[in-house]
Amino acid sequence: MEATDYLTIKDVIKKDKQLFVDIKQLLIDSIRTKIANKQRESAYMPFHTRLLGKDRMALYSFIHSLNIDFNNSIFVPVAARIGKSKFITSEKQQIAGTKISSEAQIVIQNIMDDICAADICPNRISEVERIRKVCQKGQMNTVKLTKVDLKLQSASGDIYLIDIKSAIPKIGSYELYKRTMLERTAAILADDPTCKIHTMIALPYNPYHPEPYELWIIKGMLDLDEELLVAEGFWDFLGGKGCYEQLLDVFEEVGVELRDEIDAYFAKHVGR
- Dist CA 257 CA 259 (whole Å): 6
**For 119-131, how does the pLDDT look when each residue is reduced to its tens digit (9 = 90+)?**
999 999 999 999 9
Contact between residue 241 and residue 214 where contact means Cβ atoms under 8 Å apart: no
User: Could you tell me which residues come within 8 angstroms of residue 191 by beta carbon, excluding any fewer than 6 positions away?
Assistant: 97, 99
* Cβ-count burial 189-223 (b if 16+ within 10 Å, e if not): bbeeeebebbbbbbbbbbeeeeeebeeeebeebbb
Domain presence at residue 254: yes
- Average pLDDT (221-243) is 94
CB atoms within 10 A of CB 153: 17
Task: Give yes or no for residue 172 having a pLDDT over 80.
Answer: no
252, 254, 259, 262: CA torsion to nearest 10: -120
Q: What is the span of the domain harbouring residue 116?
A: 9-269
pLDDT band at 214 (very low <50, low <70, confident <90, very high): confident
189 or 73, which is more confident? 189
Contact between residue 108 and residue 141 where contact means Cβ atoms under 8 Å apart: no
Task: Give yes or no for residue 247 having a pLDDT over 50.
Answer: yes
Residue 272: the pLDDT is 45
Domain presence at residue 3: no
Domain presence at residue 2: no
- Dist CA 218 CA 122 (whole Å): 10
Domain presence at residue 155: yes
Task: Give yes or no for residue 270 having a pLDDT over 90.
Answer: no
Domain presence at residue 4: no
Task: Give yes or no for residue 263 having a pLDDT over 90.
Answer: no
Domain presence at residue 1: no
- Dist CA 77 CA 23 (whole Å): 9
Task: Give yes or no for residue 173 having a pLDDT over 90.
Answer: no
Task: Give yes or no for residue 42 having a pLDDT over 50.
Answer: yes
- Average pLDDT (73-99) is 96
Residue 64: the pLDDT is 76
- Average pLDDT (213-237) is 87
**For 48-82, how does the pLDDT look when each residue is reduced to its tens digit (9 = 90+)?**
888 888 778 877 777 777 777 788 899 999 999 99
Domain presence at residue 246: yes
Domains: count for the chain: 1
